[in-house]
Amino acid sequence: MIDAAPAFEIDFAPATAGDIANNNLESARQQAWSRFWQAPERPGLAELILEQEQLAAQFLGDLGALDRLETLVHQLARADAESARTWLIHAQVASMTHRFAEARDYLAQAEALGLLAGDAKRLSLGIDQACATRLDWVLEVRRGLAAESGHLEDLVPLGALLADLGEFDEADRIYHRALREYRGVSPFALAWVCFQLGVLWGELVPEALSSRAALWYRQAIKYLPCYVKARVHLSEIYLHSGDVADAESLLVPVVSTGDPEVSWRLADVLKAMGRPTESEEEMRRARSGFETLLVKYLLAFADHGAEFYSGIGNDSLRAFELAKVNLANRPTLRAFEQAHVTAVGAGESEAASEILIAAEKRWGGTPAFAVSALARGRCHRD
Amino acid sequence: MSDHVDGPRSIGDPAADLSDLFAFTSPENADRTVLVANVFPSAGATAVFSNAVNHSLVVRRASVAGMGEAAKFKTGDQEYRFSCRFGVLEPGTDGAAPIQRGTCTLPDGQSLPFVVNDEKGAKTPDGVFRVFAGLRSDPFYLAWLVANLKEFPNLLQHDNVLCIVIEFDTRHVLDPSEGSLFGVIAETSPIPRSGGFIGHDPPRFDWVGRPEQTNMRLNNPALAGTDDLRDLWNQQTPFAIPEELQPLFRKRLVDSLANWDMRDGIADWTPAALAATANVYLDDFLLFDGSKPMSDTSFLEIEKSTLHGRAYQTGGGRTVNANVIDIMLTWMVNNDREFLQGGATGATQPGGNTFPYLAPPNTQLQTVSDTVDVLAPPDQVWALIGAFGGTWHPLIAKIELTGTGIGQLRTIETIDGKQIIERLEAIDNSKRLYRYEMISGIPASDYTGTLDVTPKGPGSSVEWRVQYRANGQPNIIVKTVVTELLKTGLASLRSRFGAPK
């Protein structure tokens, strides 16, 4: 059993039931596509589809959304190649699949075609944050946006940035503010914040507080029972605390999404339950799923793939190779940490030392580095 | 595990988003008034209401408090409030779609339960009230690109909305003997919680009085560089815009109306008339008078007559089929000098004369799409399949062409003896694309196909896409036919030109 956790002292806002929101998203998404095929250049429509597909991918584990977005940008380019919005949407889709260099090129093209500075700035911020570049500027702008609008969609990225910078308590306060000040009834929004709080306390702080993280993941799932990522993360906590039956019951209902992370975690759980044949089957399914995704969307799934192969995927060289791809694409502290761990796992001690030196050079002066696994690694080295 | 913050830019529940409000005398019975509120623009085929939202229609008695440049409509304090709430989804029986139930609380305190999408609706035992809620064809149509005032086909063609229809006996409920002019608004708001912190929930998510108060007047897209006041407006209490905010909203309305006036380059409004009209718009509720005739053209007549200093002649209101955008644009742009007709003369389906008055939902267009990558260059592939009369498809025995160019017909005889007739709608050889419409032969309507070839790597990618509405057949039957047609055709191209490794 996981440790008893403190009860929430939060007055959780009511939201539309998760199954209603899920049903409405799916039907509206299909309706939007139906309209798109009739008139792809219709103002606002491609933008609506982009948001709906983002929701489907982020919350429902619907990875087909990525293929559909590729179709969207392809069709939009054919229908309306000379408009700034076409290239902005190209940039947004590229950014979503972590093709950040491409995204910057598309964004420049959109700006050349007259994209409003505000729209360009917002996406630039996201790219810089994901790539850990110009973080001082990103933080200043994020704080300004959050102060100005107070909207959840401005507060959550600020919280995430603060967490990346090691400012965990402030990140927690920002996420709580997002929950407190949200003025809608979308369970997607509220579940998103709860999930971020789960990640904060379960994975980002130096000493994970699993019981606190579990509370947040559970609340995210309460808002949105189909929230695949939240189920996956909560199942990891259950697995590590020995609650394997609970972990299995979280994962089994979402295996049908085809998300390889679900099969991966289920393989772990089944192994722990002493069901090796079923575990092996799920592991094969996960491996096949990851390889398919890595062929199509290498940069988007390189870090996930690296973690899979360094664990039950049992291919330390592949893990290191993918971690390097991810690190080259966006040298975040977490990317350095992962690359270092996988280098060590692959027996590449020289490469591991080089990664450590590079990480220290880039992140050494930050509070986040001071509490990172890399800093601990440095101490061991010293 | 790493996770990234790449969520959408805005997250709201579209089911809380009010799109339109209507008020009219029942075409079935002149003694009854009908109020309609729509939520969830572009709702999908299975859309249902949020169970976390209170949907209210609120009527107040109104009176003319000033005429001409001092035109003003005042409302009384007494409210006639109709509030609808909806439950969670209940499983349907024998695999049927889930069921949603709702309850409408009526002005006299009665609760009227109903089932969503039940066309008959629900009535109170005395027959005074009748309520329907469910998915219907969107009666609103907007056939302009508003930013540059360019005609366009209806932007909401084939769209559906979730609607709430409330019909009641006018005399029994509103007692018009005390005054027959009323203002109505619709609002969506949080459902009050027991134990919830006071001040936590917003007072409302959205509200609407006259159409396009927010999107066209307060946030006129042509007023570059101005702050977006829509959120602030939506947070205000209907019938009671605070005095301290009135100058802000009034100035924006004046600026916006002045801009609309000059969209055709001609000043049709005097500054005084613009200011008076802005004042009327500031009191944002839909006016109706059940003692006078309401028609598809009576929308805004009460406001206009009052601004012209004369007694109004109609019941105003807004009927389901009223062409509100063109009526509003004509008034704002040229002060009714010349009617501005957009690119459509009606919604996807007109409203009906019987309860629940809004047409049934539009059938969603189905899409079947398939793609194949081949080794041959695009021009070589297009040379084969780009001819509208080409017989490259293995399921086709013979094709006969009638006519030439756009509009030509091809009569296809399939290898199993069926006949399909299709018409060429568009062809672009430079883009290697053509589009056709099916005239007969497949049990579907609005059937269009698009075939195109694009470069991909060392070869090409061929995409074939068909959209249709299943016509009196289960969709699965039509889908199977179309899918087979596309798959077989594209597979033959792969065999002919080779597939990339």
Each residue's pLDDT tens digit, A288-321: 999 999 999 999 999 999 999 999 899 999 999 9
Judge whether residue B225 has pLDDT over 90: no
Q: What is the pLDDT of residue A377?
A: 63
Q: Where are the alpha helices (DSSP H) in B120-245?
A: 170-174, 230-234
Name the token pair of A29.
Answer: 């998404």
Judge whether residue B10 has pLDDT over 80: no
Element containing residue B491 per DSSP (H, E): helix B475-497
Burial class (CB in 10 A: 0-12, 13-18, 19+), B126: exposed
B12 band by pLDDT with thresholds 50, 70 and 90:
confident
Least confident of A99-103, B68-72, B154-158, B323-327: B154-158
Q: What is the pLDDT of residue A381?
A: 44
A382 band by pLDDT with thresholds 50, 70 and 90:
very low
Per the DSSP assignment, residues forming a β-bridge with B112 are B104
* A331-341 tens-digit pLDDT: 999 999 999 99
Residue contacts between A and B (CB atoms, under 8 Å): 171
Q: Which domain holds residue A232?
A: 227-296
| B393 at A interface, C-beta within 8 A | no
The residue from A256, A271, A296 where one domain ends is A296
Task: Give the separation between CA A299 and CA A63, rounded to whole angstroms.
Answer: 14
Per CB-CB distance under 8 Å, the chain A contacts of B88 are 17, 19-20
Share of chain B above pLDDT 90, in %: 80
CB count within 10 Å of CB A242 equals 12
A233 plus A207 within the same structural domain = no
Q: Note whether residue A45 is domain-resident.
A: no
Q: Note whether residue A378 is domain-resident.
A: yes
* A158-198 tens-digit pLDDT: 999 999 999 999 999 999 999 998 989 999 999 999 999 99
| B48 at A interface, C-beta within 8 A | yes
Share of chain A above pLDDT 90, in %: 80
B196 band by pLDDT with thresholds 50, 70 and 90:
low
Residue of A138, A185, A308 to mutate when probing chain B, most B C-beta within 10 A: A185
Least confident of A77-91, A364-378, B45-59, B240-254: A364-378
Q: What is the pLDDT of residue B226?
A: 83
Hey, what amino acid is at B319? T
Per CB-CB distance under 8 Å, the chain B contacts of A33 are 367
Given the DSSP bridges, would you call strands B366-374 and B459-470 parallel, antiparallel or unpaired?
Answer: antiparallel
Identify the DSSP state of B215: I
Structural contact between residues A214 and A222, judged by C-beta atoms closer than 8 angstroms:
no
A315 plus A291 within the same structural domain = no
Beta strand residue intervals within B49-93, DSSP E: 53-66, 72-86
Q: What is the pLDDT of residue A8?
A: 65
A332 plus A265 within the same structural domain = no
Q: Note whether residue A327 is domain-resident.
A: yes
| B224 at A interface, C-beta within 8 A | no
Task: Give the separation between CA B465 and CA B448, rounded to whole angstroms.
Answer: 8
Element containing residue B445 per DSSP (H, E): strand B444-456
Q: B12, A184: Cβ pair inside 8 Å?
A: yes
Per CB-CB distance under 8 Å, the chain B contacts of A189 are 11-12
Task: Give the separation between CA A56 and CA A23, rounded to whole angstroms.
Answer: 11
A238 plus A266 within the same structural domain = yes
Helix, strand, coil content of chain B in percent (nearest 5): 20, 35, 45
Q: B12, A186: Cβ pair inside 8 Å?
A: yes
Per-residue CA distances from B478 to A29, B417, B419 (Å): 22, 18, 15
Q: A24, B89: Cβ pair inside 8 Å?
A: no
Per CB-CB distance under 8 Å, the chain A contacts of B50 are 16, 20-21, 185
Q: B47, A28: Cβ pair inside 8 Å?
A: yes
Name the token pair of B265.
Answer: 């380059």
Q: What is the pLDDT of residue A41?
A: 85
Query: In chain A, count of helices (H) and strands (E)?
Result: 21, 0
Q: B43, A27: Cβ pair inside 8 Å?
A: yes
Q: A151, B205: Cβ pair inside 8 Å?
A: no
CATH number at residue A174: 1.25.40.10
The residue from A198, A226, A254 where one domain ends is A226
Average pLDDT over residues B174-185: 95
Per CB-CB distance under 8 Å, the chain A contacts of B159 are 31, 35
Judge whether residue A1 has pLDDT over 60: no
Judge whether residue A57 has pLDDT over 50: yes
Q: A307, B2: Cβ pair inside 8 Å?
A: yes
Q: Over the range B79-107, which residues count as b (16 or more CB within 10 Å of their CB) and which as e? A: ebebbbbbbebeeeeeeeeebbbbebbbb
Share of chain A above pLDDT 70, in %: 96
Q: Kindly give the interhelix angle for A168-181 and A187-199, rounded to the nearest 10 degrees.
A: 170
A366 band by pLDDT with thresholds 50, 70 and 90:
confident
Hey, what amino acid is at A149? S
A7 band by pLDDT with thresholds 50, 70 and 90:
low
Structural contact between residues B58 and B184, judged by C-beta atoms closer than 8 angstroms:
yes
Q: Note whether residue A194 is domain-resident.
A: yes
Task: Give the separation between CA A234 and CA A238, rounded to whole angstroms.
Answer: 6
Judge whether residue B31 has pLDDT over 80: yes
Please tell me the CATH superfamily of domain B366-497, with its number. START domain (3.30.530.20)
Judge whether residue B158 has pLDDT over 80: yes
Please name the residues between 346 and 375 in chain B that touch chain A, using a CB distance below 8 Å: 364-367
ipTM: 0.91
Average pLDDT over residues A275-293: 96
Element containing residue A71 per DSSP (H, E): helix A64-79
Judge whether residue A4 has pLDDT over 60: no
Q: Note whether residue A141 is domain-resident.
A: yes
Q: Compute the nearest-CA separation of A156 from chain B (Å).
A: 8
Judge whether residue B3 has pLDDT over 50: no
Judge whether residue B8 has pLDDT over 70: no
Q: What is the pLDDT of residue B220?
A: 87
A141 plus A180 within the same structural domain = yes
Per CB-CB distance under 8 Å, the chain A contacts of B195 are 11
Residues of chain B with CATH 3.30.530.20: 366-497
| B203 at A interface, C-beta within 8 A | no
| B215 at A interface, C-beta within 8 A | no
Per the DSSP assignment, residues forming a β-bridge with B423 are B409, B437
A327 plus A276 within the same structural domain = no
Q: A27, B190: Cβ pair inside 8 Å?
A: no
Q: Compute the nearest-CA separation of B417 from chain A (Å).
A: 31
A374 band by pLDDT with thresholds 50, 70 and 90:
confident
Counted domains in chain A: 3
A256 plus A326 within the same structural domain = no
Per CB-CB distance under 8 Å, the chain B contacts of A229 are 3
Q: What is the pLDDT of residue A6?
A: 56
Q: What is the pLDDT of residue B234?
A: 87
